[in-house]
Structure 1
Amino acid sequence: MPRRDPDARRGALGALVANLTPVDTREESPRELSVESLTPSRFQPRRHFDEAALRDLAASVGDRGVLQPLLVRPLPGGDGHEIVAGERRWRAAKLAGLRAVPVVVRDLSDEEAQDAAAVENLQRADLDVIDEVDLTVALVSRVLGLPAEEVPARLHVLVNRPGEHPEDVTRLEALFTGLGRGTWTSFVKNKLRVLRWPAPVLTAMREHGLGYSLAGVVAAAPEGRQGELLDLALGGATKAELRERLLSFRKDKPADPAALVARALRDRRRLDALGAKERRRAETLLGELARLLGEAG
């Protein structure tokens, strides 16, 4: 598939990332808007809000107010404003009983709003891993001018053969430096692999908030047993309980004859312990195996 021309989007995104956060409003004068006049964005990249953390934030907001203004944009027709970045602060303000919050209003296109929300959320330490990966892939797709589904393969190519596309490497380094979430190579080696997990596991992470550590245990299970582990995880099982169940699957697994033979042949003491009759029998069987494998080859 031919690459899209990314120049216009790259310039806007580069300026956004260079600003480190799209809601850095220290040089702007925020205004107050009613919490009821604000609408959550349809581009909100954070799929789940931790209720306990939200209550903690609400307590802080109740004591100190909202310290960082929300970024909002006017809704069509002048009917209120849409939150571009800061929905957690807005939710916390509502929980705390605040009637108004500080905002900065900007006219942003859908694409600009989507980029701003992505960059702002990637600045947060409490972002779910799957949200982080999906958001980062989306930003990389725009920086490199590739469809999102092609990004993982391109990133693996760049890690292994960076000299083939030095301009892409430069753009990635600039993006990740601005985001402040480590290097792009570390992202590829440590987090991008999540997208290789089974589809039901990824769906559970995206739609039901399944945590990264629990999802990793489910993904490590034999394919035929992942559904059982996934049900346990979504039902509230702890990581220790999932690991115990996973170990029981492995104990129930029939021994692999080829693996047993390979281990025995590597263990000289086991071979030396055979009697003369058993040794001759083993040599006969190995000879037959060698003949069969030779014919198969």
Structure 2
Amino acid sequence: MTRKRPAPRTGIEGLLNGASALAEAPSATLPVTDLRPSAFQPRRHFDETSLTELTDSIRKNGVLQPLLARPSDNGYEIVAGERRWRAAQQAGLTEVPVHIRDLTDEQAVRAALLENLHREDLNQYEEAAATLRLVALTLGVDEDVARARMYAAARGTNTEDREVLEDLFAAASLGSWQSFTTNKLRILRYPDAIVTAMQGGLHYSIAAVIAAAPDIHQAELLAMAQGGAGYREVKARRAALEARATPLKVDPARVTEVGKRISSVKWLGTLDNKAQKELQAWLNRMPDSVRKAMNLPD
């Protein structure tokens, strides 16, 4: 059965192409207490240094770019601009300029994602999560299905979504969807410790090196990176760790006892015909590593 290729959802073109018109539209001035954060906020980590810098700028120049909000039951929900709202309060402002729009949940999610995806201080994990959510909305599926379909499109086994992905990434200025699928989508499956480090500023190229290492080495590599080690240093250390002999997983005492027993000619002489055949069959199944160590022919 051929799956019908999904068409781009209504609304994204308007949100993208109407950005300049929105910026030129008149804004209202609202008390900061009338605004509340949105559940659709893609950002999960607010860097204190960056927020302090924005606070200083707002204290000197005010809020230059109005927030985007929509009416809610208890005031207004911030669709885009939560950092400006937080910084304005830290700067002592009691009011902020706001564009008020009646937006559906889907339109609000799209606007929040697109606004945040073009912020330089959005960390790579948040960027990957926001991009996947935008793709899921565009395809009209949940995020797990969207992820699977992106991988299938990158492999060439799903051609129906390729045009939609190309149009979406081009319209949102997100670069190459193939590059995102290959290099950044995996970030969302990284261990929690690596994700936390990325939210604190760890670059995704170093995170990728650590995430690909065996679990037993990841804590050491992560500590190195957080201590200031660069990509090449972390990668070299990972190679050195993986080159070490693996921990012993056999019982040395048992191996020694087996060796002593089968090397005893006296013991071998006690075996009947059936037992000798069983022993020979066991020796024929000898692991290659043991065979090579004993210089036995294949």
Q: Pick from 146, 149, 158 the counterpart of residue 153 of structure 2.
A: 158
Amino acid of the structure 1 residue aligned with 2:159: H
Amino acid of the structure 2 residue aligned with 1:11: T
The alignment partner of 2:79 has SS state of strand
For residues 44-83 of structure 1, the aligned pairs below 5 Å read 44-76=41-73, 79-83=74-78
Q: 1:156 to 1:245 in 2, by over 3 A?
A: closer
Deviation at 1:185, TM superposition (A): 1.9
Q: Structure 1 residue 185 and structure 2 residue 178: aligned?
A: yes
Q: What do residues 78-132 of structure 1 show as CA deviations (whole Å, max 9, x unaligned)?
A: x321111000111111111112110011122222222211111012122110111
Amino acid of the structure 2 residue aligned with 1:128: N
Q: Structure 1 residue 174 and structure 2 residue 167: aligned?
A: yes
2:29, 2:95 within 8 Å by CA — same for their partners in 1?
yes
Distance in structure 2 (CA, Å) of the matches to 1:170 and 1:289: 58
1:69, 1:103 within 8 Å by CA — same for their partners in 2?
yes
In structure 2, list runs of 5 or more residues that go unmatched: 248-290
Compute the TM-score of the two structures, normalised by the length of structure 1: 0.71
| Residue identity (%) | 39
The alignment partner of 2:22 has SS state of coil
Aligned residues: 252
Which structure has the bigger radius of gyration? Answer: 2
Aligned to 1:274: none
Q: 1:66 to 1:210 in 2, by over 3 A?
A: closer
Aligned to 1:129: 124
Compute the TM-score of the two structures, normalised by the length of structure 2: 0.71
2:80, 2:111 within 8 Å by CA — same for their partners in 1?
yes
In structure 1, list runs of 5 or more residues that go unmatched: 257-283, 292-297
Amino acid of the structure 2 residue aligned with 1:105: I
The alignment partner of 2:10 has SS state of helix
Q: 1:217 to 1:63 in 2, by over 3 A?
A: same
The alignment partner of 2:24 has SS state of coil
Q: What do residues 117-160 of structure 1 show as CA deviations (whole Å, max 9, x unaligned)?
A: 11110121221101111111111112223321122332232223
For residues 81-230 of structure 1, the aligned pairs below 5 Å read 81-161=76-156, 165-166=159-160, 168-197=161-190, 199-201=191-193, 203-204=195-196, 209=200, 211-213=202-204, 215-227=207-219, 229-230=221-222
Distance in structure 2 (CA, Å) of the matches to 1:157 and 1:94: 46
In proportion to residue count, which structure has more helix? 1
Distance in structure 2 (CA, Å) of the matches to 1:11 and 1:191: 27
